[in-house]
């Protein structure tokens, strides 16, 4: 017997002895004890029989796990990078096996799998209806494992969706694609390739992005057909959206992700575990707020500034205005007031020239006026307090090292940037900013040249403010408060017709987004005398790109498919499932029991809901909830829309209570 397998078997014996001997009323003894010896022989014989019975099985997920780890060790040996395994390694997935005798049909394609689970489980796998969201590296590995396991190779169907197209950088790890597939849709190309691996697999390829705009397709009827959802996404908001849908439709979900040598696998089981969104990782900021906002000293700080700028102007403000139009609050916070005044300025028109004018003002605000104000607040003879962190090094206009009173010239800001039509970067900024503004407001750009519109605009006169406080550390300004909805409406344009608000999520793979980010970063760098960057580097830094590794992807997907076996067998014991976290660089593989779904004081969990099977008015609904659940309803909402609230005026309350 190979040493690794023998070690695994002996480890299994010892673990079973620890758990089963106390249950039999036995104890460990340093002396010879015939009863314990006979019990040990019986247990060893039972485990030996099981091991002999299972050793002929061949599981694709287990091969993926062990094979990936071995391949990673080869990479370590060839590159001399990361820590090699210099010890015994033991890995088991015995929680996937029910340990009772099964019936299986030898000689078929999936016999190595049926030995462990039987024909009944194999038939369930073949009739499984699954939905894979994302067809990148993880999505390709999932399809490959599904084809080898026989998932959806009978009466079931696997749906895959991805709106992206194949790029050359995908080919090193997304092995279902070839160089001849460049710029083809990932989903349809992967579906075609996987049929060559297993012609019996039933697969439907879609090119939709999963989100609110595609609810017309991913509707109740679509989710009603599914048995399982698997995420292969690289964005947190997309993961949370899919998780929300799975909770709503009570579908099991397996989430997975990789980041270089690190990866994770998390099963979400209805009525058993918490959801993916129930736990949030702490938000970390790579650079100090004050450094990015006022005192950058590297191009990475400038790129982070550009990223914050994009998200603030084209996503946060637009999203806040969109929510306001759906359900205006009685009291508006200061950030909301600023967002609405920018989106709906008084006496403004919503057309292409107004977008160019907005970009013109933005240029002067960020690269001319703000820098002038900073120079006014921090003249050349200003002395900063000593900092202990190198990240707080204030590279301010005309300023240098924070620990001396003399400021080297090479650390000084060169100048405020004045808009010039002869500078390509300036015109590029105006053009890209205007297009993004138009896209976020639903405005169609016109053919009128940007330069023609700029010549008709007047450069705003700027006077530095006296007494304006600019923080020298990471303490952000305190919210000065808000204003009432009525007062705010007087400051906003009344006619909002023709405006369709669309928040823009930054996408490093979008050429317009990446070019705008690079443009803003280089303009910022020019203010502070920092070397400019390239689009390639801006994509790299803003996307926090860590080179993906095929070994990590294969390992994580192997772990996902081991959890799939448990879901197909309808295991209801929380201890049977495992959330796994790996980092092959430091030889770390941690398995833990998923967190149980929390129970509220009303004995409800996030998986519970009240189902109404017939029409009723709001008044009847409130009466039903009061009688059945002893709950008085103060506020009723759907999404961002408030249907009823205790602070509505009486006439509106009566109207809403009578509605069905």
172 and 136 Cβ atoms separated by less than 8 Å: no
What are the Cα distances from residue 611, in Å, to 96, 441, 589, 624?
34, 38, 42, 12
Helix (H, G, I), strand (E, B) or coil at 577: coil
Round to whole Å and give the CA distance between 202 and 210. 21
327 exposed, middle or buried (CB, 10 Å; 0-12, 13-18, 19+)? middle
User: Of these residues, 60, 153, 265, 290, which one is catalytic?
Assistant: 290
What is the distance in angstroms between the CA of the first residue and the CA of the last residue of the chain? Answer: 71
Q: How far is CA 447 from CA 48, 352, 401, in A?
A: 79, 9, 48
Mode of pairing for the β-strands spanning 579-583 and 588-592: antiparallel
Q: Phi-psi region for residue 337, left (φ > 0), alpha (ψ -120 to 50) or beta?
A: alpha
SS3 of residue 618 by DSSP:
helix
Residues in CB range of 255: below 8 A, 6 or more apart: 230, 231, 239, 243, 264, 265, 266, 268, 276
Residue whose entry in the numeric block shows the structure tokens 């297993």: 198
- Measure the CA–CA gap between 543 and 42, rounded to whole angstroms: 58
Q: How many residues does the chain have?
A: 660
Could you give the dihedral angle defined by the CA atoms of residues 203, 207, 208 and 209, in that order, rounded to the nearest 10 degrees? 110
Element containing residue 10 per DSSP (H, E): helix 3-20
Kindly give, in sequence order, each residue whose CB lies less than 8 Å from that of residue 145, ignoring residues fewer than 6 positions away.
60, 61, 64, 151, 557, 558, 561
Backbone angles phi, psi at 54, to 5 degrees: -90, -20
Closest CA to 62 of 150, 149, 129, 134: 149
Looking at residue 642, what DSSP letter applies? E
> How do 253-259 and 228-231 pair as beta strands?
parallel
d(C-alpha 568, C-alpha 550), whole Å: 27
How far is the C-alpha of 117 from the C-alpha of 110, rounded, in Å? 11
Residue 55 a catalytic site member? no
b/e per residue, 404-438, with b = 16+ CB within 10 A? eeebeeebbbeebbebeeeeeebbbbbbbbbbbbb
CB 539 within 8 A of CB 575: no
Q: What DSSP state is assigned to residue 365? A: I
3-state secondary structure of 133: strand
Query: Of 195, 188, 193, 137, which is closest to residue 163 (Cα–Cα)?
Result: 188
Q: Which residues are catalytic?
A: 290
């Amino acid at each position: 017997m190979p040493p690794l397998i023998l070690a695994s078997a002996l480890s299994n014996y010892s673990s079973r002895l620890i758990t089963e001997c106390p249950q039999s009323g036995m104890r460990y003894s340093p002396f010879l004890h015939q009863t314990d010896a006979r019990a040990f022989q019986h247990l060893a014989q039972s485990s030996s029989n099981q091991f002999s019975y299972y050793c002929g099985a061949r599981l694709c997920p287990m091969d993926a796990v062990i094979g990936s780890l071995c391949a990673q060790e080869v990479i370590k040996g060839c590159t001399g990078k990361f820590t090699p395994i210099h010890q015994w390694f033991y890995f088991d997935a015995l929680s996937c096996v029910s340990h009772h005798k099964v019936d299986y049909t030898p000689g078929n394609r999936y016999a190595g799998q049926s030995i462990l689970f039987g024909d009944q489980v194999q038939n369930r796998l073949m009739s499984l209806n699954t939905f894979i969201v994302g067809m990148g590296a993880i999505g390709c590995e999932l399809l490959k494992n599904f084809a080898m396991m026989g998932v959806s190779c009978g009466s079931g169907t696997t749906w895959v969706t991805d709106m992206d197209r194949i790029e050359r950088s995908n080919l090193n790890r997304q092995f279902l694609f070839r160089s001849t597939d460049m710029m083809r849709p990932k989903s349809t190309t992967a579906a075609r390739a996987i049929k060559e691996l297993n012609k019996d697999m039933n697969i439907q390829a879609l090119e939709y992005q999963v989100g609110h705009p595609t609810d017309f397709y991913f509707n109740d009827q679509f989710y009603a057909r599914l048995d399982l959802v698997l995420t292969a996404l690289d964005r947190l908001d997309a993961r949370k959206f899919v998780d929300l849908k799975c909770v709503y439709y009570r579908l099991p979900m397996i989430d997975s992700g990789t980041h270089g040598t690190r990866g994770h696998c998390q099963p979400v089981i209805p009525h058993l575990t918490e959801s993916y969104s129930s736990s949030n990782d702490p938000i970390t900021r790579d650079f100090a707020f004050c450094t990015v906002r006022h005192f950058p000293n590297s191009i990475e700080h400038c790129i982070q500034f550009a990223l914050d700028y994009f998200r603030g102007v084209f996503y946060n403000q637009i999203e806040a205005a969109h929510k306001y139009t759906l359900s205006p609050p009685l009291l508006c916070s200061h950030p909301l007031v600023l967002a609405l005044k920018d989106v709906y300025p008084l006496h403004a028109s919503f057309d292409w020239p107004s977008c160019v004018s907005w970009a013109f003002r933005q240029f002067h605000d960020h690269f001319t006026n703000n820098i002038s104000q900073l120079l006014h607040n921090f003249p050349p003879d200003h002395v900063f307090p000593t900092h202990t962190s190198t990240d707080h090094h204030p590279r301010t206009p005309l300023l240098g090292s924070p620990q001396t009173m003399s400021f080297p010239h090479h650390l000084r800001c060169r100048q405020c940037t004045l808009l010039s039509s002869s500078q390509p970067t300036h015109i590029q900024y105006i053009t890209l900013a205007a297009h993004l503004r138009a896209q976020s407001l639903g405005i169609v750009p016109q053919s009128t040249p940007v330069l023609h519109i700029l010549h008709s605009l007047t450069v705003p006169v700027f006077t530095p403010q006296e007494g304006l406080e600019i923080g020298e550390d990471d303490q952000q300004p305190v919210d000065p408060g808000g204003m009432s909805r009525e007062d705010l409406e007087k400051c906003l344009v009344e006619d909002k017709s023709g405006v369709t608000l669309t928040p823009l999520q930054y996408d490093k793979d979008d050429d317009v987004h990446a070019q705008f980010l690079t443009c803003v970063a280089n303009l910022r760098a020019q203010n502070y005398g920092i070397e400019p960057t390239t689009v390639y580097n801006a994509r790299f830094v803003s996307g926090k790109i860590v080179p993906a590794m095929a070994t990590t992807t294969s390992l994580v997907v192997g772990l996902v498919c081991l959890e799939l076996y448990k879901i197909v067998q309808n295991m209801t014991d929380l201890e049977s499932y495992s959330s796994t976290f790996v980092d092959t660089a430091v030889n770390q593989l941690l398995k833990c029991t998923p967190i149980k779904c929390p129970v509220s004081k009303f004995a409800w969990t996030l998986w519970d809901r009240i189902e109404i099977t017939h029409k009723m008015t709001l008044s009847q609904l409130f009466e039903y909830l009061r009688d059945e659940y002893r709950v008085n309803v103060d506020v009723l909402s759907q999404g961002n829309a408030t249907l009823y609230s205790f602070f509505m005026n009486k006439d509106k309350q009566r109207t809403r209570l009578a509605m069905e």
